[in-house]
Amino acid sequence: MKKLFKLLAVLILSVTVFGCSGEQKEQLKVYSWGVYIDPSVITEFEDKYNCDVIYDNFDSNEQMYTKLMGGESYDVLVPSDYMIERLIAEGQLQQLDLTKVPNFSNLIEGITDLPYDPGNQYSVPYFWGNVGLLYNTTTVDYNDLETEGWNILADTNYQGRIFIYDSERDSFMVALKALGYSANTTNEDEIQAAYAWLTNVNDTMSPVYVLDDSIDAMIAGNKDIAVMYSGDAAYIMSENEDMSFYTPNEGTNLWVDGMVITKDSEAVDLAYEWINFMLDEDVAARNSSYVGYTSPVQSVYDEMSGVGGEYEGNIAYIPRLGYVNDEMFRNNETIRKEIADLWTRIKSS
């Protein structure tokens, strides 16, 4: 018996010690999207700044928010524009001292100083893009895309062959745009009309609601049309030549994912280093190349999309800027709740 106890004691001790052995260096906790960074970049950062980076993933802004409110503590978050707006309003973020982010000057002007964070007082762009239709050029009639725009998702000719992104915000944006309304509308009738539009698609088109699972599926050509983020589309197009990307004339959502520092962060200096590191030309290039999303760094953007660049000719890599019907999301708590509720209903039916 005694021997057994001794063995157990040793076992527990060694496991605890082993588990705790990583606690000597400073830690940076980053909470970001899945497959949104080149893993070698993390290792390089850890070596360069002699720290441990805990890199956690979320599937959606809402999930990130819920976890944050549930008491998780991270240093750097990478939310989308409207979520940044919400976090700012709720006092969850630190105001940024941009002098500590010298690489800020590398950024494309058009995506800085936007309404969700005027003057970039709280956030620094990480990736940006829009939402569109990834489609199989061999099976989808381009004419349909031009004439129907987002309504092609309700075109029963393509029944059973579409992927819809499992995000209430993006789906309602698509519905509202298809009906000619603003994606940020607060008009109850319009929202109900969008709800009806989505319910119709759900009932008649047998869509499959997915998150990132659609990426591999589209590379394999399993379906013909998918609502996609431009970055994922760019990546898929680089792997499957039959695929192309279309942003309807009705307009779409232009988005920016930005890096922010949480109010309670305990590794603020390290956080600044991280943010600045991400905007370094070489690092940003590697990230953009690995993930497929459009870089906010001007020189990288030019190189990737330019002659000889990795995404040369890839229209998903160059999102439309300045198109009057394209909108950025604004934060509205009441509408958000309503839309979330309606979306759950649509999926449940």
Residue 1 binding another protein, by CB under 8 A: yes
Among 54-62, 114-122, 179-187, 286-294, the segment contacting another protein (CB under 8 A): 54-62
Among 80-88, 172-180, 283-291, 341-349, the segment contacting another protein (CB under 8 A): 341-349
Residue 60 binding another protein, by CB under 8 A: yes
Q: Which residues are bridge partners to 57 per DSSP?
A: 32
**Phi, psi (5° rounding) for residue 99?**
-70, -20
Among 56, 188, 269, 282, binds another protein (CB under 8 A): 56
Q: What is the signed CA dihedral for 272, 273, 274, 275, rounded to 10 degrees?
A: 50
CB of 210 to another protein, least distance (A): 6
Q: How far is CA 238 from CA 138, 177, 270, 292, in A?
A: 16, 28, 34, 9
- Within 116-145, the residues that bind another protein by CB under 8 A are none
**Phi, psi (5° rounding) for residue 56?**
-110, 150
Residue 55 binding another protein, by CB under 8 A: yes
Among 62-70, 150-158, 178-186, 250-258, the segment contacting another protein (CB under 8 A): 62-70
Q: What is the signed CA dihedral for 289, 294, 296, 299, rounded to 10 degrees?
A: 60
Residue 344 binding another protein, by CB under 8 A: yes
Residue 221 binding another protein, by CB under 8 A: yes
Size of residue set near another protein by CB under 8 A: 51
Residue 12 binding another protein, by CB under 8 A: yes
Residue for token pair 């519905």: 175
β-strands 225-229, 162-165 pairing:
parallel
Among 3, 19, 307, 334, binds another protein (CB under 8 A): 19
H helices present in the chain, as ranges: 2-20, 39-49, 61-69, 81-89, 142-148, 168-178, 188-205, 213-219, 230-239, 268-278, 281-291, 298-305, 333-348
Binding site for another protein (CB under 8 A): 1, 8, 11-12, 15-16, 18-19, 29, 34-35, 54-57, 60, 62-63, 65-67, 69-74, 160, 166, 202, 207-213, 215-217, 220-223, 340-341, 344-345, 347-349
